[in-house]
Structure 1
């Protein structure tokens, strides 16, 4: 047990370091997670023997639940609504068309049976939300004509269609199966939508209208509600992934308590789920078997990337007056990844079409190509097509920016000799976009006017434009003890890196904005910016 825990912790740490290294190499982190899995696998350095597709299916399916839920929860419906029709069309008809065209090409070019070809097209029909989100956000790649929101909504909502097609492929398309398939499709869609809506409404009502859930338990409650939604939908024969995705959209776009705490929690949980899926994908791979299927896999890659996806996108979007450039970009952004891998594992575990490892390694190769090549080149392709909108941050299209304030409240202690002492509000030289709101004088709160005079001892509360830092910018707090190398030194004497600045010194209840002569004392908390 101890060895297993140690192994899991090492794997997670390796993936975290790989995520950071991906920025330097310009490669999406998800592809590195796959290679870490291969490194630990039976053909890798650590020789972990793992080929239990049933166990992998259960683990990955559980991980995909939260990826699907967070994909909906973090979608800002206000911005996605104008392109919702196009996105839903791509996530339903587009996925079906992509899968069927891919299946037809596999049958014609590779000689696979119709059942095998259909199963390949089914598991590869959907695009991967995790990959698309990660690339758009990491590169701050906002796209013109609402394309970013279109891709976010499409990639987040098209997994249920691919899941349904995979179930049909696993079940088989033999004679006399037509009625059963139609009944299954109706049940999947009807109960999938109904259960998702009911659970979303119930969760929002419980969180906003009752006191049954304490603030400390809201994340636990929502995790339980998502799992309950998935299980209930599955038991009723509905599309469980559709249910949790719809639940995510409906809850994420409501004003629920502690939303600012819920979003980072589910963001971290989803990151862990992505690591788990892509690591297992690499772990289940046997590189020594790859040469035998490399040729067919490359044909599938070319078919889906250069034919099936573009044909489906152009056929659906051009009649809706989308530009050729937008269609080209949407076609290229059809990344395959986590969901396709999970559906492939599901098909192998069920013995679908008898393909076993061949199907899995084809999907692995397509995922590697898609994330590594398409994902890496996506920013370049967007700029070459002149589809990048640099005036807006793409992160604003996600719900984790919905409640970010554009302003910050600040306070200034005024003492005798302070530049603001004995001056009127209208005489202050404050930063542009700032406004003095209130003066706290003794136990009195004074709403300021232009002729309000500031006295020594006053605390001036003012509002200023907020700032959203880049991902590489951060504030850190350093606790200074007697043996700390900064203790007793003035700020000017510290040999700080060129990218670091001491922004604030917290000394007891006192807040000090330092200059070069400020001396760091024991027990100070020093806030650095870098």
Structure 2
């Protein structure tokens, strides 16, 4: 609410952050956690000069990381590393392959997250500055073995960086978690002008092959005010059709729909494998899930059959769907192709087999999967022994194939 000069806003925010940190520390709390929560609240509030503050915070974040790593390097004592190298490396390997995967799985077991995603989260851990920063605490507290603890943490972080840091990309591809690009190149700048409350000024550069370059109209709620072409500024109404390379300045309401990004972005370069990622067929999300049960028999419950297909997918995803999310329903798989600004599914793809190269992960079962397996085990135990024997024989015997005899045209 203060009418401050824009140059003072970043300083004011930084001062408030230090005050929150100090107040929490004086009360015996965590200053870091207090500033983090204050940032979450402020970032989700309707505050002025968001663009200026984001740029300032981005620069301060990089500066803080540079200073932190410089100080951490000064704290390290490499001459003391050989004495603790072997135990520290073994401890690092235990944390990477045992402790962290188990801890992550226990935290995520209540949620129906796919096992490849849980495996990826368990592999991508806190493996850098945060760990070493916490290891400084024993040094600052003057503990007897503070230096030993810091050096051990330093080596563990190096081991984690080498093993986990360099394998993030290959692991994501192995687990099928690389999502195809949604948009091609997009050149956009957000500007904030004095007196433009609840409105933003966006500057787009028209990319070759983008929808607006092909003649697509700009929505009415967007107000194009200026176009720069070949160094000349003109009114949008006088320009006619936009051409590649034009710079367009548009006033839009805040929280503007991301439709403009799609209009000014060029087509993404689609790999043939990426095209298969979203399934071979398109499915209307507004159709009834009963039609899926009739056509493919995925085993939906009575309550699920009354939903639309889009609502069914959203429910299976825990109430929130994102671009490229996947839901396996018996013999078919539904893939989210697009969602609107309110999170509603607007496009779905259907595949008869998993199209993404998802590796089979034998561990990291969710609570729902554990419950289903226990229920299946109980049902199987209740079956008569003879029925189980018949099923076992049926699985072993080959399925008879129809014999087709060659006939002549004479019959």
TM-score normalised by structure 1 residue count: 0.38
From the CA coordinates, give the structure whose radius of gyration is larger: 2
Give the structure, 1 or 2, with the largest relative contact order (CA under 8 Å, sep 6 or more).
Answer: 1
| Higher share of residues assigned helix | 1
TM-score (norm 2): 0.48
